[in-house]
Structure 1
Amino acid sequence: MEYAAHCRSKFSRISVTVAVCLIAGTLAGCASKSKLTTGSVASFNKPLAQMNATELNNAARTAGAKYKSNPKSGPIAMQYASVLLMTGSNEQALAVMQQAAIHNPEDRTVLAAYGKAQAGAGNLDQALQTIRRAQTPDQPNWKLLSAEGAILDQLGQSVQARYKYREALDIVPDEPSVLSNLGMSYVLEGDLRTAETYMRNASKQPAADSRVRQNLALIVGLQGRFDEAEKIARGELSGNQAEANVRYLREMLAQSNSWKKLADS
């Protein structure tokens, strides 16, 4: 719920919204450098989740120019849509991926990214249909299973969501992106202790990326252990960013409607 890119406001540096960061991380393969940037598509200098506003805008211009020159390319469209989602341009990302799906109707990776864009634009039911259409029951794809779980979590169907995560883990045991999504699923219902157990397991895996550790910082901070949360965040972000995140978290949790604010962020 890697569902977590509309939460690119003050606290988006520790997660990328609780719900959407799950989807984003899942569909991108939870790699530090997006696995959508393959082939002739050049990767960026740093993970999108760690870019500031200026860097994201520059990345959007670069990816947009590549897309304009070759709009039918699935990898190029996916890279551009990923940046757009991170900048909050959800409707534009959806339009880009809609065209990519039209030009690449049999490409499961493109369809998965299309589902991500639909979810980012709030079209959760359509996103679920797209993800399921991309899946092949005889040879299930773990990324699609995890993405489906992320969407189900956003729809409030946590039991079904966790079933999908565990199906994915049957295929790729200890996959950090799936463990992270499972942990964030428990965050959404307020079970922070269980969430932390899964997130710590995810963060210990060799393939764990920055977003997993930022999610761990989020969960630790939500339990009021601010110094520990800042220490974890400082390993992934600049000192100023880590301090700003924890300060915002302190302020949010001090309010009586803090969980509602988190869900609405």
Structure 2
Amino acid sequence: MSRAKTSLAVLALVLAAAATGCASTATKDEKAANAELQRAMEEALEPASPEEVAAANRADPLTKANFWSKEHAKDPENLETAITFGNALRDIGSDDRAIDVLSQVLVVHPDSAELLMVLGRALSTKQDYRAAVQAFNQAGTLEPDLAAAWGGLGTALDQLDRHADAQQAYQRALSIEPNRISTLANYGLSLALSGDLVGAEEKLRLADAQPDTTTRIKENLALVLGLQGKYDEMKAASGANAPRSIVDQNVELLREMVQPTRTWEALAERAEMGMLPASPASSNRLGPDAERAAAATSTPVTDESATVTTPENDAGLRLRKTY
């Protein structure tokens, strides 16, 4: 072999060796980068520490919801995280999002009564009472001794005007927890809306006798007493929660509504602004049936245990369910 050819061969070997070395170095760098990326991904998907969870749960509702959104994204099928996230969403008024999240997790965990309860409450808030009935009923079927499930079912059924079915659900809840205040109160209102004022008074008195009774319960009891003509008892029931002048005004107003002798304008002159039912368009005088219906109205509710505070001047003559 000539000297020139020998030199070329040696050069080729040197270049090949250099290329091999570079390739080997590049492979090591790539492996290191991939390993680092893998570690970062694993760390990002690790559940939050107990300290982080405790701090998030002490934070304001929006911060808490954002925290649990990230935790839910790490493991979308985790039941406990989904329930906590759903409750956090409800706390900031995002019931639609809560329903979406909980419905997806329900596919994976169809036997979770706790998840169904949160879902049922969110559906009730959105006034989808038919779906709420299904959620509460399924929760009660899964856990027959869960009084909250039967209480929630009762409130949803009442909103569908299925008062007899609602009352059966309340009875079942009370057979498990006889002093459950929200169920006693809502059972009383269901009976009132069915025309059973005596039964309504009994349940509302039991609710009002509980240590955690609320102004709303007292107002409803006072109204049911007034509808029976028990005006002195009505004053006693509501007297501690409103100025005396308003109590007397409400008693006189209810007396006029039950036994109409004056025109709507005359009643309106003596009533507080915003406290009367809407005036009928066709007549200046309320007929007996119309008056009773106007006095016994209710608002959409859920069966969640919560402390309800009512301003003193919010003492209008209307039935209102206990949350």
TM interval, short-chain normalised: 0.5 to 0.7
1:109 aligns with 2:109: no
Deviation (angstroms), 1:250 = 5.3
DSSP 3-state at the match of 1:135? helix
Deviation (angstroms), 1:185 = 0.5
Given candidates 58, 61, 66, the residue that maps to 1:63 is: 61
Structure 1 residues 108 and 82: CA distance shift in structure 2, 3 A: farther
Structure 1 residues 211 and 262: CA distance shift in structure 2, 3 A: closer
Given candidates 73, 86, 92, the residue that maps to 1:77 is: 86
CA distance in 2, matches of 1:138, 1:230: 38
Q: CA deviation digits over 1:156-201, x for unaligned, max 9?
A: 2222211111111111122222211210101222433321221111
Could you tell me the percent identity over the aligned residues?
A: 22
CA distance in 2, matches of 1:82, 1:222: 36
Question: Is this contact kept in 2: 1:187–1:195, CA < 8 A?
Answer: yes
Structure 1 residues 210 and 264: CA distance shift in structure 2, 3 A: closer
1:233 aligns with 2:241: yes
Q: CA deviation digits over 1:15-55, x for unaligned, max 9?
A: xxxxxxxxxxxxxxxxxxxxxxx997459xxxxxxxxxxxx
Given candidates 188, 191, 203, the residue that maps to 1:183 is: 188
DSSP 3-state at the match of 2:179? coil
DSSP 3-state at the match of 2:127? coil
Deviant stretches of 4+, over 4 Å: 220-230, 253-256
Structure 1 residues 114 and 153: CA distance shift in structure 2, 3 A: same
Q: CA deviation digits over 1:119-141, x for unaligned, max 9?
A: 22222211111112222356431
DSSP 3-state at the match of 2:277? helix
Residue 170 of structure 1 aligns to which amino acid in structure 2? S
Number of aligned pairs? 197
TM-score normalised to structure 2 length:
0.49
* Runs (5+) with no aligned partner, structure 1: 1-37, 44-61, 85-91
CA distance in 2, matches of 1:208, 1:264: 19
Deviation (angstroms), 1:147 = 1.0
Structure 1 residues 78 and 262: CA distance shift in structure 2, 3 A: farther
Structure 1 residues 135 and 216: CA distance shift in structure 2, 3 A: same
Structure 2 match to 1:27? none
- Which residues of 2 match residues 4-23 of structure 1 at below 5 A? none
Which is bigger in relative contact order (C-alpha 8 A, separation at least 6)?
Answer: 1
Larger Rg: 2
- Which residues of 2 match residues 66-145 of structure 1 at below 5 A? 66-71=64-69, 72=72, 73=81, 74-82=83-91, 84=93, 92-103=94-105, 105=109, 106-136=111-141, 139-145=144-150
Residue 175 of structure 1 aligns to which amino acid in structure 2? R
CA distance in 2, matches of 1:63, 1:125: 29
The root-mean-square deviation of aligned C-alpha atoms, in Å, is 3.8
Structure 1 residues 222 and 121: CA distance shift in structure 2, 3 A: farther
Question: Is this contact kept in 1: 2:150–2:169, CA < 8 A?
Answer: yes
Question: Is this contact kept in 2: 1:112–1:134, CA < 8 A?
Answer: yes
